[in-house]
Structure 1
Amino acid sequence: MDSLADGSNFNLRDEIKAYWSERAAAFDQSPGHEIFSEAERDAWHKLILRHLGEGKGRPALDLASGTGVVSHLMDDLGFSVTGIDWAEPMLELARAKAKARGRKITFRLGDAENTMEPSNHYDVIINRHLVWTLVDPEAAFSEWLRVLNPGGTLLIVDGDFVNSNRLEQLIVRLSGFCQRFGLASGEPARSSYELLETHRSILSRVYFSQGARAEAVADLLRRTGFVDITIDTNMRAIHRAQASNFSLFKGWARAVQHRYVIRARKAAH
């Protein structure tokens, strides 16, 4: 779209930044972005606790924090949270949300691939649906390793949003059949056609354009210097809670997609 790409110096990273800036206003309206039930909030809390334990005041950095959804989950659990995002419209909403809820969360403008944060500063770094957008993930992972304290933990929540398995393909075909014969309605459009096309264009040009598979992300983390890397694909409780806000078929599809959590650590010495 013209508003997202004019000027000879407008590169892919600029386009990604502009895309998320334009998505900000409606971001929290989408299930899977904001949290719409206490059951989902509880499921997220349990997942975070499983990998990070109680916050106990530990400093945590939420990268690409958006409107602050994950930052609030971390704050719930007692972490001292800083969120950074490079889309100012997202940050404005995040700050307003924190103020309305009386939360002491710091939100500031920053680039997840070049945070400008101090070295050896955070006990935890967390991000959700960021890795698939990275232009240079190896450089980003090196940056995150620098910012973490020795022994600190990185938690990545992400997925392969390019490839679908046979079961998901079957669900999509069944959904199309039911819609065609009036047996089911489609998902409401939450983004304009232009934004959807921009999303497809960006996805085709980022590093993980062929899909951010968990094993590939873990291999890059290992190459960067992270240790004790584990992949957790048990997100069933979250997907069950989210399903009530999706159509039947979309809920089924989400449950079988390649979505995962990766935990990795910075060596203590």
Structure 2
Amino acid sequence: MPKANWTLKDDIREYWTSRAATFDLSPGHEIFGDDERRAWHALIERHLGAGGGRKALDLASGTGVISRLLCENGFAVTGLDFSEAMIEQARLKAAKHSLDATYVLGDAEETRLPDDAFDVIMTRHLVWTLPDPGTAFADWFRVLKPGGRVLIVDADTTARSMTSRLLQRLAAVLKRFARPSPTPGMDIEVHNRIVSQVHFSGGARAEDVAALLAGAGFETVVIDRDHGRIRRAQGRHMPLHQRLGRASQDRYAILATKPAAIPAAIDARSGQHAA
């Protein structure tokens, strides 16, 4: 049971802290092959372009997997995470690979970073955990430079079609006969308690995420479901039941752009004033 005065965000922070030491042991978290790394590089370049030294913010940076990819694509990276243990793992990885990345402790819904500070923002598997994504997206809008881009990689794990439901049922049956392989460091009770309270407790539908981004002032919001290369590369390191479970999910990337000229209404809403 949660402690007295314990909040949802305390649960989220401590849950990810408890997983920091073993997070990179799981396929789908760390990258285990060059084929997957190339697929991620292609996704980043397709939506964000070559880094060229531009400033990138990796939100909920965890152990620095996405930070490393962004650095390899030529970005100067700042990673922000809620968990000191995750940041420590990311710093060790950055030092090991001589990456142009720095890390700060912070809340992805209220980063407290300067206005107009970053050319791009990227997140992976963050949005589904946000208690208030509307507030978060408004803050991301604020810290991006005019014309800056945000790339969200996430998934709707709720089976909505007959095919998805069949795949989930088959995955559940096969899992019963598979060798036990619990996710390292995962407390399922805490995980389920968090999921039941976040904004997307019924599943992070890509269209709902896109609508919230538009509501925060972003434009040219594009949903990209072309994740076959990444999924196949990850699947080579997963048991069959996990591959089927993932195949039942809607895994997507969403690209959104901050307008080069900010409309007055949005400027006033964010507390900024046009010159």
What band does the TM-score fall into relative to the shorter chain? over 0.9
> 1:190-205 to 2 correspondence within 5 Å?
190-191=183-184, 195-205=187-197
Matched residue, 2:113: 117
2:144 corresponds to 1:148? yes
Alignment partner for residue 69 of structure 2, among 64, 73, 78?
Answer: 73
For residue 6 of structure 1, the aligned residue among 3, 6, 15 is 3
CA distance in 1, matches of 2:90, 2:185: 23
Distance in 2 of aligned mates of 1:145 and 1:219: 14
Per-residue CA deviations over 1:28-78 (Å, capped at 9, x if unaligned) read 111100001110000100011110110000000000000000000000000
CA contact (8 A) 1:159 1:212 kept: yes
Is contact 2:156–2:204 with CA below 8 Å preserved after alignment? Answer: yes
Cα deviation digits, residues 123-177 of structure 1 (max 9, x gap): 0011001101111111100000000000000000011133454223323333454
Give the alignment's TM-score, normalised by structure 1.
Answer: 0.92
Query: Quick one: distance in 1 between partners of 2:57 and 2:138?
Result: 15
- Aligned-residue CA RMSD (Å): 1.6
Larger deviation, residues 71-80 vs 93-102: 93-102
Q: Which residue of 2 aligns with 1:185?
A: 178
CA contact under 8 A between 1:236 and 1:255: conserved in structure 2? Answer: no
Match of 2:205 in 1: 213
Match of 2:123 in 1: 127
Q: Is 1:254 aligned with 2:246?
A: yes
SS at match of 1:57: coil
Q: Percent identity?
A: 49
1:50 aligned residue: 46
Alpha carbons of structure 1 residues 179 and 200: separation in structure 2 relative to 1, 3 Å: closer
The question of whether the paired residues in 2 share the 8 Å contact of 1:165 and 1:257 is answered with no
Question: Which amino acid in 2 is paired with 1:62?
Answer: D
Report the number of matched residues. Answer: 261
Segments of 5+ residues of structure 2 without an aligned counterpart are 262-275
Q: Please give the secondary structure, in 2, of the residue aligned with 1:94.
A: helix
